[in-house]
Each structure stands twice: as structure tokens, then as C-alpha cells.
Structure 1
């Protein structure tokens, strides 16, 4: 298994995995061709320093991914942190250590970027994911809040 930064060619598989669960099926649009919004968002991420989709690949097959963003900040004496979100492992590869190896790679990259903390977001309904993250050493420390804005387009 190798880890690399996602390329535009990976987008259909990434969107397929995003849509392949109870929550994602309600908010993603996996279709052929993919909606241009996914390509536009990917290009914006490519243009933004410190924001990437990290993919796990084996035999040219995408096994899983996560979005990893490095965020400089002023609080905590100018601490830099890493943010992980959008974690997915293809259903047929779950339980094989893909997610754990993907997280270890993300944490290693975060250390190389001099981050002092790795944070992640996870939906409160994803109880299995919570147990997985806790097993990796993550602790529930804050409640997140969202304000949904009307789509500007």
C-alpha cells in the first residue's frame, strides 16, 4: 500500500466512496459524468497550500482517503494544527488496517509540518468511527457547531 496526494483522476472513486454510506448518499451526487462542482472544489484545494486529499492505493486501486489540512493559528502561542475530515475506506477493504495506516501517514505528515495537534471532525451518528478514532488515541474534547449558509451560486 502506498500513500499519495490525490490527483484529479481519483475524483470519481473519491466521490463514489463519499456517497457510499447512509449519510453520504443524502448529500453527494455520484453520477457519470461527475458534477463540475467536484472538479472546481478539487482545483481550489490544489491551489490552496496545506490542503490535500491523501489517498491509500494498492495495485492501482484506491482503498481509502481523507482530507488533510494544515492550519496555522495564533492561539496556543501560534500553534499549527492539522485537520482531518472526509475519511472513507472502501467497503470491501474495511477491517484490513487501511484506515489505521492512512491515519498513521496523516499523523506523520502533520509532524513533518510541525503541527502540535491533529483534530478531526466526525458526524455524531458515526458511532463505529468514534470507536476507531478513540482506539487511535483521539479524545472527544469539543462539540462542533455549524451554520449552513445558502449556496452562493
Structure 2
């Protein structure tokens, strides 16, 4: 198994993974064209963020992406862990841990001082996973405004 930075050739497999992820999330849904555009934008512009993939014999079986921004509170670069998914057939094999550790290491190399993420409120397994990796529940409450 290999952990690597995503390439444009990985986009079709990443879209499949995102479709699985968004089918189970409360506020999002699969949209192949939107996912393809977003992934291409991130992969083509490393200043925006990074995508780390897990591959088994060349097949993408997991992914995590981190988007970069600047925190005025910290005065430094921070990251937003936007998406993380491991193919259902590969869950429980430690792949998520390897992906997350590599993404954290790369975010640190990019100068990030903090990572923030969102999960569905009822996704207890995700909460436990992130807590095992040092994330703590924030007192902040997310609000969203969809712009058209």
C-alpha cells in the first residue's frame, strides 16, 4: 500500500470516493461535475490545498484533502480538513490513520499551525477517530450561507 500526493489521473477514482462520502452526509450529495472541478482545482493549485491518497496496487482506496487559509487569530496559515474517506472494503485496516498522519505532516510542512474539520453531528465513529488522533471538540458552532 502506498500513500502519495494525488495527481490529475486520480480524479475519477477520487470522484467515486467523494460520491460515497457525500451520499452519507447530511448536508451534501454526490455531484460528479462539481467534485471533478473541485478536485482538479486543488490538484492544479498546490497553494490552495493538498490531497493525499492511499493506493493498493495502483488503485485509489482512500483520500483526505486539506485546504489552506490564514487565521487572523493566530496570524498564520491554517488548514481545513475538507474531506476524508476510505473505501468501505478497506476500512479497519489502518488506512485512515496513515492518510491522516501524512496529511497532518504535509500541512505542517506547508506552515499550518492548526487543522479544523467538520463532521456530521451524529457520526460518532468519525468523532472517535479524530479524537484518537488528537482533535478536540471546539466550542465554536458552524454556520453556513450558500451563495448563488
TM-score after normalising by structure 2? 0.84
1:43 maps to what in 2?
40
**Distance in 2 of aligned mates of 1:70 and 1:125:** 26
Give 2:24's aligned residue.
23
Q: Secondary structure at the match of 1:54?
A: strand
Report the aligned-residue RMSD. Answer: 2.1
Tell me, which stretches of 5 or more residues in structure 2 are unaligned? Answer: none
Report the Cα distance in structure 2 between the residues aligned to 1:117 and 1:15, rounded to whole angstroms: 27
Bigger Rg, which one? 1
Match of 1:54 in 2: 52
Q: Distance in 1 between matches of 2:38 and 2:105?
A: 25
**Which residue does 1:66 correspond to in 2?**
64
Residue pair 2:64, 2:83 contacting (<8 A) in 1 also:
yes
Q: What is the CA–CA distance in structure 1 between the aligned matches of 2:99 and 2:115, rounded to whole Å?
A: 14
What's the offset of the Cα at 1:115? 1.9
Residues 85, 122 of structure 1: 8 Å contact kept? no
Distance in 2, matches of 1:110 and 1:13, equals: 23
Taking the TM superposition and a 5 Å limit, the aligned residue runs for 1:90-101 are 90-101=87-98
The two structures have a TM-score, normalised by structure 1, of 0.81
User: Conserved in 2, the CA contact under 8 Å of 1:8 and 1:39?
Assistant: no
How many residue pairs were aligned?
A: 144
Q: Report the equivalent of 2:5.
A: 5
- Where does structure 1 lack aligned partners over 5 or more consecutive residues? none
